[in-house]
Structure 1
């Protein structure tokens, strides 16, 4: 794997892990939340600069079913991140307090809620579309060269378990109500241990990765390889 591609994969993974931390606003507090958000946007900008060629090639090549799916996901991530950046700056009390933005707080809160939860979904799906590359990088890191049927079965059982728990966590945290702005108040169970809270969100990331990975495999089977441009 090329060095540039490895950096992009690492950035994807780190940003995906940072999302649950950012969503645990009650645990981190306002100041930490904002500065972690700034760090994430720096990584996001870096990621997009590394992908400048992908944007440049958007009008080139044939759009297969897989490329349409991949492009839609990538652009959705971009829109959500811009929405988070704009709304975050509007509501900032620390890093961007010097801008003294007044008004539009209600709109900013709604935009931040939408962009946060849809960004969580799309970022996780984005990682799922690159799961083959991530697994390849992990196999190389731990020096696994030969395929193993037993290992494959074990990994699939683990993936199935994480996916099932992710569905449970998705329902338990009522994520759909945030995705469609049915509520503006995020419920938080203070009796729940923080580690379990993060486990729930990591399981939901795993759910989205699994769905995206197998959806991509299905689309690629019925879609010719021409026109596919990786990001």
Structure 2
């Protein structure tokens, strides 16, 4: 694997980790939260620069269910990141205190709600590219042959992650956090490691769900193509 691809994977992995850290506001404190947010902005710009050809190809070619889903999720993710960044300036207390607004509670509500939606969209976005990520990692680790045992182990691991992710989603009231803003916090006291594991597991729900949904769509498309070819 060439160095550019390794660097791109490193950027994407760093974005994922920093997104989880950014969600841990009550653990990290405000200063680290704002610095992480600025770092995420830089990585997000870099990620879009590497994928600039995707934007040029939007109006080219045919659209199927897989492509429509991809474009919709990518734009929702892009919009959520834009809103997160715009709303972060008026509530900045350490990095850009001179930009603070008197209506900071409204901006804070917008910022928190869109952050959780952005977290979900990022997981779905990752799920859409999961097959490519796995393929790149296989090349990087020089795994050339498929292994039935490895496939079974990875699928069992995915099921465990999803089950645990659903459990902690309920415990952490993720559904409410996507619809309700609580200025007094959510009263969930835990360690940094527990938080990271929980939120990575929540991401695992949407990554796995999206990945297998895409595989199902692709299988359906192949069946339709095969049946149409046979009937001719």
| TM-score past 0.5 threshold | yes
Distance 1:169 1:70, change over 3 A: same
2:109 and 2:181 in contact (8 A); partners too: no
Alpha carbons of structure 1 residues 59 and 4: separation in structure 2 relative to 1, 3 Å: farther
TM-score normalised according to structure 2 size? 0.88
Deviation at 1:8, TM superposition (A): 3.8
Residues 177-222 of structure 1: per-residue CA shift (max 9 Å, x gap): 01012644431432x3321121111111111110010011112223
1:185-200, aligned counterparts within 5 Å? Answer: 185-190=184-189, 192-200=190-198
Deviation string 1:101-155 (CA, Å, 9 cap, x unpaired) is 4233122112111211001101011111111121122222222211111111111
Q: Which residue of 2 aligns with 1:122?
A: 121
Tell which deviates more after alignment, 205-214 or 131-140.
131-140
Match of 1:42? 42
Segment drifting more, 165-174 vs 51-60: 51-60
Instruction: Tell me the residue number matched to 1:89.
Output: 89
Task: Report matched runs for 1:100-111 at 5 Å.
Answer: 100-111=99-110
More divergent stretch after superposition (32-41 vs 1-10): 1-10
Select which of 193, 196, 206 maps to 2:204: 206
Which structure: larger Rg? Answer: 2
Offset at 1:84?
A: 0.9
Q: 1:62 is paired with a residue of what secondary structure?
A: coil
8 Å CA contact 1:20–1:202 kept in 2: the answer is: yes
Q: Report what 2:217 is aligned to.
A: 219
Offset of residue 32 of structure 1: 0.7
1:158-169 equivalence runs, <5 A: 158-169=157-168
Which residue in 1 is equivalent to 2:58? 58
Q: Which moved more, 1:120-129 or 1:175-184?
A: 175-184
Residues 4 and 50, structure 1, Cα contact 8 Å, conserved in 2: no
Per the TM alignment, residue 47 of structure 1 is displaced from its structure 2 partner at its CA by 1.2
Q: Is the 8 A contact 1:167 1:207 kept in 2?
A: yes
Distance in 1 separating the partners of 2:62 and 2:112: 35
TM-score (norm 1): 0.89
